[in-house]
């Protein structure tokens, strides 16, 4: 084996993990979400940025407000998932850089004084963190159903503000009956990797 991670853990995180489309009604606890975040916050980002923001949609009223902004095919599963998270990018993340990147606190002003630079960096690094979050959900023994089929501007207006850009909505829980679509193909190593 070329990997040191236990094969069962490899399967849990990657090979056997799938995007879930149905869930049981077993709740996802605050403690589980805290454990997920406490693990995935260590994933690398540029300048140790932490622009990801997670809005947990727990109340019935908030769920109804969210469902109306989801694409038609995503509405039923979002309505039924035990927990739904809106993942967004904080475009004012640079305010935290002096604490998060203490060996170069000037990075806040040198690289991110202009809003367009912040928005690009926030989108890239929050997307990295969103991927870590999905892996963290899997590490907790739960299934994730990430979706980008939604009205992004509607979700932003309904749940966020002008400084936050929604990236995706993730349904979270234990997989229910017929949770998986058939596995789609993946590209082969030789189709992706070039050595120069």
Question: Mean pLDDT across the chain, nearest whole number?
Answer: 96
Q: Check: CB of residue 125 under 8 Å from CB of residue 87.
A: no
Quote the number of domains for the chain.
1
In a domain, 106, yes or no: yes
Residue 64: give its domain's CATH number: 3.40.109.10
Q: What pLDDT does 157 receive?
A: 98
In a domain, 5, yes or no: no
Least Cα distance to 132 among 51, 20, 47, 188 occurs for 51
In a domain, 71, yes or no: yes
Is residue 29 pLDDT above 80, yes or no? yes
Query: Residue 23's domain spans which residues?
Result: 19-176
In a domain, 8, yes or no: no
Q: What digits encode the pLDDT tens for the residues 135-172?
A: 999 999 999 999 999 999 999 999 999 999 999 999 99
In a domain, 131, yes or no: yes
């Amino acid at each position: 084996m070329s990997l040191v991670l236990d094969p069962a853990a490899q399967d849990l995180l990657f090979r056997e993990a799938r995007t879930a489309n149905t869930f049981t009604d077993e709740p996802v606890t605050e403690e589980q979400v805290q454990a997920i975040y406490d693990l995935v916050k260590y994933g690398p980002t540029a300048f140790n940025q932490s622009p990801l923001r997670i809005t947990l949609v727990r109340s019935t009223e908030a769920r109804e407000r969210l469902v109306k902004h989801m694409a038609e095919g995503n509405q039923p599963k979002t309505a039924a998932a035990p927990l739904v998270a809106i993942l967004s990018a904080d475009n004012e993340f640079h305010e935290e850089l002096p604490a998060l990147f203490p060996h170069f606190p000037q990075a806040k002003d040198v690289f991110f004084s202009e809003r367009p630079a912040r928005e690009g960096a926030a989108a890239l690094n929050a997307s990295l963190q969103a991927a870590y979050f999905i892996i963290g959900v899997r590490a907790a023994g739960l299934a994730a159903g990430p979706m980008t089929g939604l009205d992004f501007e509607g979700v932003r207006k309904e749940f966020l503000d002008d400084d936050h850009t929604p990236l995706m909505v993730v349904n979270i829980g234990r997989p229910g009956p017929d949770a998986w679509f058939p596995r789609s193909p993946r590209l082969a190593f030789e189709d992706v990797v070039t050595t120069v």
